[in-house]
């Protein structure tokens, strides 16, 4: 992984702004910045799983889904078999779907 996107996001946020790095970079991805890039009270933080605690929260979310209290199915516009991944990306780019799911049958 190259460090440029991490530096670019710091440059793109406004004074007193917050950048959130979502997910993770490969191990040993160094990011070097000029300390002055943060002098305008810019903040950078990482987020893994949206600050969820997987060992606690994932089980709870599954229970809520199974009980019908967490409506996930309604968020899916269309499902595609994995063989149609290119079509799925095409209709997403055309704005024909909001959220698609790839299935592995």
Pairing of strands 100-103, 43-47: unpaired
Greatest extent of the chain over all pairs of C-alpha atoms, in Å: 52
pLDDT in tens, the chain (105 residues): 677 888 999 999 999 999 998 877 888 888 899 999 999 999 999 888 888 899 999 999 999 999 999 999 999 999 999 999 999 999 999 999 999 999 998
Cβ contact 14:38 at 8 Å: no
User: The pTM is what?
Assistant: 0.55
Domain boundaries, the chain: 4-51, 71-105
Q: What is the pLDDT of residue 1?
A: 64
């Amino acid at each position: 992984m190259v460090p440029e996107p991490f530096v670019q996001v710091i440059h793109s946020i406004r004074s007193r702004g917050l950048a959130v790095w979502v997910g993770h970079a490969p191990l040993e991805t160094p990011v070097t910045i000029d300390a002055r890039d943060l002098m305008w009270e810019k903040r950078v933080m990482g987020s893994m799983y949206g600050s969820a605690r997987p060992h606690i929260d994932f089980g709870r979310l599954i229970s809520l889904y199974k009980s019908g209290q967490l409506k996930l199915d309604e968020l899916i516009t269309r499902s595609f078999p994995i063989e149609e991944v290119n079509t799925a990306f095409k209709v997403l780019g055309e704005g024909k779907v909001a959220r698609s799911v790839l299935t592995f049958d």
